Chain A
Amino acid sequence: MNRTIDYGSAVISAVAIAAIAIFLLEAFGLRQSLLFLLGAGLGIALFHAAFGFTGGWRVFIRERNSEAVRAHILLLLFCTFLFFPLLGGVIPGLHPGAALAPVGYSVLVGAFLFGIGMQLGGGCGSGTLYTMGQGQVDMLITLIFFIVGATVGSIHLNWWLDLGGIGPVSIIKSAGWQLALILQLAVLVFLYFLVRWLDRRRNRPAISQHMAVQPAFLSRLIQGPWPYSWGVVALTLFALLTLLLAGHPWSITFAFGLWGAKIWSALGGDISTWTYWNSGYPGQAVQSSVLADITSVMDFGLILGAMLAAALAGKYAPAMTLTARRVLAAVIGGLLLGYGARLAFGCNIGALLAGISTGSLHGWLWMIAAFIGNIVGVQARVTLGMDKPWRMQHEAAY
């Protein structure tokens, strides 16, 4: 394996991380600085473990390769195991908040659109950030239109919410944390073995190509690639620390809408008529420094952490072919991702991981709707010529 560290990019990203952490410490205090560093850690873990939801769901849909999907389920399982008791108040004085959001048409439609956007844009919330941090230019395009979509979505959100729903549902509050924990763990274990069975039914033995070559431990830790198991452990740990430090679960896409609203305002646009940005925390956030917003700060850390990890792996800013078709897909995908995330109260992190692992029913609705959206998105990639038809590919393998 030939892996040369990109020292220039590694030094730039490491210095940037250190400088921003010190600045945040001085300007906002220890917590903001630590949350930024947690974001950087998340970026490193996501990149080194190649912990993408988009690619993992695509290979499962196309080939029934369940390796990544099982890793996602394990992440949900571990976070559920740790978060439910905390939310149930087992530690006196510690009362983190859940990622509760209303269950309704807004989440249903938003998650479905987000699912299509994942496949066209080439990333989800976390995936877009860490691959952009890696220096992939196409993902920069996706991110720009992700921000545009999230901003437009925030303008339309109230209209979608008026379509109705049953409001926020906490299964922890409804069933008690102990029973809710048992039930949710049972469902997740069932899902784990279901996707594994579907995989083995079609692929014998189960495909495991994520870590074909295993370098020495230290080299692997610093330069990657990590096996999924390391990614699951690291992401669980960082998600737990985020919950404890921030007081709420890890989130990503709230910041995109915030950045869009701020940019629009800075360009002379009027956001006073945008209801969402004129009340509650969003209103407060838009009137404050972007560095005061935890989600933004963690997103910045994630991008720089991924840049550092990519530089250490010698994979920063890879050469690539950027076709007009790829640009079009990134634009459409980015818009769908942003608009969908805003309507669905989050992405694969804020709604799927944070929602489910803190007992919000909307997380489960998000998972189902987004998976259906992914199936449509996978087919759309074929239609756009980005992928070969998978049935033909499957038949050709025999």
Chain B
Amino acid sequence: MKRRTSQMIIGSAMSVAAIAVAIDHTRHSVPEPVARVQNDSNMATSTDSDSPCGLGASPCGLGGESPCGLGADVSPCSL
């Protein structure tokens, strides 16, 4: 496979991916930037010391809305 062919294949794949991301993005509402910072609970801290993702008072999420929580047992933090 020549270099030009590789470039075309990868370039096409990236273009398709970019279009897919754009379509996906437009299908979902975007939160206000300020509100998002305040509500960054998808990655933020909580005080639940029993969280599987956290140590002491420092879990990385809020219960069921946490990236660390699949139920209460496992931690997609590690994905």
User: Residues of A at under 8 Å CB distance from B?
Assistant: 9, 26-29, 31, 87-89, 95-102, 132, 135-137, 140, 157, 161, 167-168, 170, 172-173, 246-249, 251-254, 257, 262-263, 266, 276, 279-282, 284-285, 287-292, 294-295, 300, 303, 316-322, 341-342, 345-346, 350-351, 354-355, 359-360, 362-363
A361 to chain B, nearest CB (A): 11
Chain A residues with CB under 8 A of B10: 132, 135, 137, 140, 317
Given A168-B75, A289-B28, A362-B78; A98-B70 close (CB under 8 Å): no
Chain A residues with CB under 8 A of B34: 29
Which residue in chain B gives the minimum CB-CB distance to A322?
A: B1
B47 to chain A, nearest CB (A): 9
In the complex the two chains form, what is the Cα distance from A30 to B37 in whole Å?
9
B19 to chain A, nearest CB (A): 12
Q: Are B21 and A251 in contact (CB under 8 A)?
A: no
Given A29-B33, A137-B1, A263-B20; A360-B78 close (CB under 8 Å): yes
For the A-B complex with A266-B23, A281-B76 known, give 17 more contacts whose Cβ atoms are closer than 8 Å. Answer: A28-B36, A87-B55, A95-B54, A97-B60, A100-B75, A135-B7, A172-B55, A247-B60, A248-B68, A253-B79, A276-B70, A281-B42, A281-B68, A284-B42, A289-B24, A292-B28, A322-B1
Chain A residues with CB under 8 A of B44: 247
Residue of A9, A167, A248, A289 ringed by the most chain B CB atoms within 10 A: A248
Pick the contact of A251: B5, B59, B64, B77 (CB < 8 A): B77
Pick the contact of A27: B13, B23, B33, B55 (CB < 8 A): B33
Q: Are B7 and A27 in contact (CB under 8 A)?
A: no
Q: Which of B39-63 contact A (CB under 8 A)?
A: 40, 42-45, 51-61
Chain B residues with CB under 8 A of A282: 70, 76
Which residue in chain A gives the minimum CB-CB distance to B12?
A: A140
Q: Are B9 and A140 in contact (CB under 8 A)?
A: yes
A360 to chain B, nearest CB (A): 7
A336 to chain B, nearest CB (A): 16
Given A251-B78, A279-B70; A294-B54 close (CB under 8 Å): no
Which residue in chain A gives the minimum CB-CB distance to B30?
A: A27
B72 to chain A, nearest CB (A): 9
In the complex the two chains form, what is the Cα distance from A161 to B45 in whole Å?
26
Pick the contact of A249: B45, B52, B77 (CB < 8 A): B77
In the complex the two chains form, what is the Cα distance from A282 to B57 in whole Å?
23
Q: Interface readout for B16-29 with A: 1 if CB under 8 Å, 0 if not? A: 00001101110110
* Subset of 11 A-B contacts with CB under 8 Å: A98-B60, A135-B7, A137-B1, A137-B5, A137-B10, A167-B52, A266-B20, A281-B69, A284-B65, A345-B74, A345-B78
In the complex the two chains form, what is the Cα distance from A260 to B72 in whole Å?
24
In the complex the two chains form, what is the Cα distance from A346 to B75 in whole Å?
10
In the complex the two chains form, what is the Cα distance from A360 to B64 in whole Å?
21
Q: Are B45 and A140 in contact (CB under 8 A)?
A: no
Residue of B6, B59, B76 ringed by the most chain A CB atoms within 10 A: B76
In the complex the two chains form, what is the Cα distance from A281 to B60 in whole Å?
11
Q: Are B43 and A247 in contact (CB under 8 A)?
A: yes
Q: Are A248 and B21 in contact (CB under 8 A)?
A: no
Chain B residues with CB under 8 A of A99: 53, 75, 77-78
B23 to chain A, nearest CB (A): 8
A296 to chain B, nearest CB (A): 8
Q: Are A100 and B78 in contact (CB under 8 A)?
A: yes
B59 to chain A, nearest CB (A): 6
Q: Are A246 and B43 in contact (CB under 8 A)?
A: yes
Which residue in chain A gives the minimum CB-CB distance to B21?
A: A290
Which residue in chain B gives the minimum CB-CB distance to A100?
A: B75
In the complex the two chains form, what is the Cα distance from A288 to B51 in whole Å?
24
Chain B residues with CB under 8 A of A88: 55
Q: Are B74 and A96 in contact (CB under 8 A)?
A: no
Chain A residues with CB under 8 A of B45: 95, 97, 247
Q: Are B69 and A346 in contact (CB under 8 A)?
A: no
In the complex the two chains form, what is the Cα distance from A359 to B77 in whole Å?
13
